[in-house]
Amino acid sequence: MEYLNIYANCQLVKGANMSLLCDLQMRRFYHLPNDTAEVLLFLQQYSIDECIAHYGEDNREAIAGYVDFFVSRELGFIDDRILPELTAMELTWDRFADITNVVIEYQETIDYTGSFFRELLDQHLEGLEIRFYQPVALPELRELLALFSDSTLRHIKLVLPYEKSLNIAALDELVKKHQRVKSLLVHSSPEEKLEKIFSNSVPVYYFTGKINSCMACGEIRAHHFTVNTELFTESLRFNSCLNRKLSIDQQGYIKNCPSMRENYGHVADTSLQAVLDNKTFNRYNHIRKDDIAVCKDCEFRHVCTDCRAYIENPQDIYSKPLKCGYNPYTNNWEEWAQHPMKQAAIEWYGMAEIIK
Amino acid sequence: MSKKILILSQSYLESTTDQVCQWMDYLKIPYLRLNGEDFFRFQQLSDLPDNTETAVVWYRRKIAHFPAEFSLKQPDFNSQYTMKRFLVDEFNGLHSFLFHSIDAQKWLNDPLSEKNLNKLQVLQLARRLNILTPFTEVVTTKTKIMALLEQYPALIVKPLSECILLEDTERRAYKMLTSTIDQKSLGAVPETFFPSLVQERIVKKFEIRTFYLDGVCYSMAIFSQNNRKTTDDFRNYDNHRPNRTVPYKLPADLEHKLDQLMKILRFRTGSIDLMVDMQGNYHFLEINPEGQFGMVSHPCNYYLEKKFARLLHQSVLHEKEIHQQPENKENAAPATVFSEAE
Ligand code: SF4
Ligand code: SF4
């Protein structure tokens, strides 16, 4: 008897009509109809022959096709039994910091060396995103990046407006000096393109759109989907955007994210511990995709990041991200900004100007 | 000064130590990380960590590169190499003093057992515990190899010590790997040669890397057979088709025997290599007490770095219980000149 053993780091996520097979190790996903997913679930308990007997001879070819697909993509292998020793993967998520991700909306008048920032850098931060809405000069940028040189922060993402002086050579030199910078997004650029600097290791995305306020954030697009164990496991228990995230807006106010209205004090006179102890600050952490309307039926829910700042129904914190055009019931992508159901929310957020 | 967790490591290229330390910071477990590089800042022997101040020691690494340069009046390849070896010995002469000055039972792994670990002895111990091992022999002649090939379709040759890296004049690195001898490749074998370790070649279904942590086995299966390039040794990474690595649970009786083996060697942590043949039998290959556990922890989502931090913490608490010495209330920074943590 032949059995298909599916590797534990290939996780199946069922949606309303379609399922997503997430290969967490190879960081790829496969979009499958739910019928196929059913067969795969059956094959996790029964032999291939038993599966054919169950679904009928008519389906022999289709089932054999699925098995071939799995074996050829190295998602599983055939053996004379299901190996019970190949145990399920523990889908826990944990990190050694109360804050893992920080977003800073840069403003030259803010002092980024104060005690709040020192406390923040004592956290073992994972990622920092620095957004520049206004052009910035190279020396200023260097000075800012130097503040992070002695920290355990792992990576920095820079969002910058297009500037002639910040050419590829200048950026290359910058990231060589500040190796925590792992990616750059250049907005308001004359053309859309992707360049790679620092021996091809750091991508620079040129983007023609303008990012001149926090309202540009929160877009859900298929090419943003990320397949890996970190996001998958975090999204099973926590919010996949705001969990352990902290932001400092242009005025120096501490927020969950720059787009949120509520703040938890100003960097000049607030301690990080006070923010961490504030229950309201943590209120988004536990809003999982499985709790959110529509997303809970979407097969992309554990490879997609969330947005709680811009939602379809601003009165209902469990409603779907506003800037997502995917419909898991029809499996179609539509332009969210044009969608009639979204116009009220677009108006509520005062976003109409920005998205036209 | 209260008793400490002492971590011996190196200052860079050490993500495993870094992550364990970050977990300890987060869990508010105090520790002292001493990198090999710090030895270059000591002023006197008494700056070394002291036995009475130390509750538990995790010895992870010594040093990557000496932060010191030397030059010879007449540099040539041989004396450069000799000089390098000499400095390594000098450094070890100092570093391994700790193996003696700090009580053996405080080390997670008995330092002398770790230092003197011998592949043949480990295989012999494993066999005594009824753990299946591949047929192993040390041979010096082609005749003997031919005789063995009558019994086993193929043999592998691997070092009795550790694989090394060789560098050519252009600084390209060549890594020593395991290679196969069968009837076809026999022609290349000289009549007599340096004593070499050969093993029967096991046709494997997959390999297993187990990280042993204080009595518990965290195992990972490594599927590499689809990958011709890596059939002998999965360390020869193929970036395009990486090996599949997934969590695995060894049979309880094998875990029990491995636990006995580790206890005999006085290791509380280490990684163990096994191979599963086409019939599903487990063959024990070797133990690496230094254990780079990130490569098991991350793919299997085991959070071993956190578990490791907890183990160190428990050991320190345990140590305090045994030695209920009156404690000096000084909470100040250590008197030594090197950095505490990072
Ligand atoms: S909640 Fe929305 S707007 Fe805020 S950071 Fe996340 S995606 Fe962006
Ligand atoms: S419906 Fe929800 S989970 Fe699905 S793509 Fe949109 S935002 Fe992501």
Percent of chain A with pLDDT over 90: 97
Closest chain B C-alpha to A90 CA, distance in angstroms: 6
Ligand 1 midpoint to CA B13 (Å): 34
Same domain flag for A18 and A161: no
Same domain flag for A160 and A26: no
- Using the beta-carbon criterion (under 8 Å), do A90 and B247 form an inter-chain contact? yes
Q: What is the pLDDT of residue A224?
A: 92
Atom 7 (ligand 1) nearest CA: A218
Percent of chain A with pLDDT over 70: 100
Same domain flag for A139 and A241: yes
Q: Which residues of B touch A74 (CB under 8 A)?
A: 223, 226, 241, 244
Ligand 1 midpoint to CA A125 (Å): 18
> Residue A97 phi/psi, 5° resolution?
-155, 145
How far apart are alpha carbons B145 and A148 in whole angstroms?
Answer: 59
Q: What is the pLDDT of residue B242?
A: 86
Atom 1 (ligand 1) nearest CA: A307
Per DSSP, which regions of B145-281 are E strands?
155-158, 165-167, 173-175, 179-181, 192-200, 204-213, 216-223, 244-248, 269-277
Atom 8 (ligand 2) nearest CA: A304
Q: Residue A96 domain-assigned? A: no
Closest chain B C-alpha to A336 CA, distance in angstroms: 36
Nearest in space to A351 (alpha carbons), one of A323, A325, A321: A323
- Using the beta-carbon criterion (under 8 Å), do A89 and B342 form an inter-chain contact? no
Same domain flag for A110 and A223: yes
pLDDT in tens, A148-157: 999 999 999 9
For B154-185, b where at least 16 C-beta lie within 10 A, e where not — what string?
bbbbbeeeeeeeeeeeeeeeeeeebeebeeee
Give the predicted TM-score (pTM) of the model: 0.90
Chain B residue whose CA is closest to A124: B22
- Give the ipTM: 0.92
- Using the beta-carbon criterion (under 8 Å), do B249 and A89 form an inter-chain contact? no
Q: Which of B22, B242, B300 sits opposite A89 (nearest CB)?
A: B300
Structure tokens at B19: 């992550």
Closest chain A C-alpha to B161 CA, distance in angstroms: 32
* Per-domain boundaries in chain B: 4-108, 117-132+203-302, 135-201
Q: Which of A26, A89, A97 sits opposite B301 (nearest CB)?
A: A89
Closest chain A C-alpha to B271 CA, distance in angstroms: 19
Structure tokens at B132: 């299946």
Same domain flag for A186 and A240: yes
Q: Residue A194 domain-assigned? A: yes
Q: Residue A324 domain-assigned? A: no
Chain B residue whose CA is closest to A72: B226
Ligand 1 midpoint to CA A91 (Å): 25
Same domain flag for A137 and A217: yes
Which of A261, A285, A310 best tests ligand 1's pocket when mutated (most atoms within 8 Å of CB)? Answer: A310
Ligand 1 midpoint to CA A221 (Å): 14
Interface test with A, best of B26, B33, B246, B297 (most A CBs within 10 A): B246
The answer to whether the beta carbons of residues A302 and A333 sit under 8 Å apart is no
Which residues are near ligand 1 (CB < 6 Å)? A 217-218, 241-242, 257, 259, 307-310
CB-based contacts of B143, cutoff 8 Å, min separation 6: B191
Same domain flag for A248 and A174: yes
Same domain flag for A135 and A36: no
Chain A residue whose CA is closest to B19: A96
Q: What is the pLDDT of residue B323?
A: 54
- Boundary-marking domain end, from A251, A277, A303: A277
CATH architecture for the domain at B117-132+203-302: 2-Layer Sandwich (3.30)
DSSP state of A114: S
Instruction: Tell me how many degrees the CA angle B200-B206-B208 measures, rounded to the nearest 5.
Output: 90
Residue A93 confidence (pLDDT) above 50:
yes
Query: What mean pLDDT do residues A172-183 have?
Result: 96
Chain B residue whose CA is closest to A7: B246
Closest chain A C-alpha to B253 CA, distance in angstroms: 13
Chain B residue whose CA is closest to A85: B249
Chain A residue whose CA is closest to B299: A25
CB pairs under 8 A between A and B: 65
Same domain flag for A128 and A256: yes
Number of domains in chain A: 2
Q: Which of A8, A26, A74 sits opposite B247 (nearest CB)?
A: A8
CB-based contacts of B86, cutoff 8 Å, min separation 6: none
Ligand 1 midpoint to CA A170 (Å): 30
How far apart are alpha carbons A233 and A235 in whole angstroms?
Answer: 5
Q: What is the pLDDT of residue B340?
A: 35
The CB of A307 under 6 Å from ligand 2? The reply is: no
Same domain flag for A62 and A160: no
- Boundary-marking domain end, from A225, A258, A277: A277
Ligand 1 midpoint to CA A148 (Å): 24
Q: Which of residues 268-327 of B touch A (CB under 8 A)?
A: 298-303, 306
Chain B residue whose CA is closest to A81: B280
Per-10-residue mean pLDDT of chain B, 342 residues long, equals 85 88 96 92 92 93 80 70 86 92 94 92 98 97 95 92 76 79 90 94 95 98 68 50 93 98 97 96 95 91 97 85 47 35 34
Q: Which residues of B touch A89 (CB under 8 A)?
A: 246-247, 300-301
Which of A20, A219, A324, A341 best tests ligand 2's pocket when mutated (most atoms within 8 Å of CB)? Answer: A324
The CB of A289 under 6 Å from ligand 2? The reply is: yes
Interface test with B, best of A72, A83, A96 (most B CBs within 10 A): A96
Same domain flag for A210 and A142: yes
Taking CA atoms, B260 is separated from A18, A213, B123, B220, B308, in Å, by 49, 62, 14, 20, 20
Q: Which of B18, B244, B303 sits opposite A94 (nearest CB)?
A: B303
Q: Where are the alpha helices (DSSP H) in chain B?
A: 15-26, 77-95, 97-101, 111-115, 119-128, 142-151, 252-264, 294-300, 304-322
Q: Of all atoms in ligand 1, which is nearest to the CA of residue A219?
A: 7
- Whole-angstrom distance between the N-terminal and C-terminal Cα of chain B? 20
Same domain flag for A199 and A229: yes
Q: Which of B242, B248, B299 sits opposite A87 (nearest CB)?
A: B248
Instruction: Tell me the residue range of the domain where A70 lies.
Output: 3-79
Q: DSSP letters along A18-32, please?
A: EEEEEETTTTEEEEE
Q: Which residues of B touch A94 (CB under 8 A)?
A: 303, 306
The CB of A298 under 6 Å from ligand 2? The reply is: yes
Query: What mean pLDDT do residues A175-195 have?
Result: 96
Structure tokens at A205: 């995305």
DSSP state of B109: B
Q: What is the pLDDT of residue B225?
A: 60
Q: What's the mean per-residue pLDDT of chain A? A: 96
The CB of A15 under 6 Å from ligand 2? The reply is: no
The CB of A304 under 6 Å from ligand 2? The reply is: yes
Is B247 in CB contact (< 8 Å) with chain A? Answer: yes
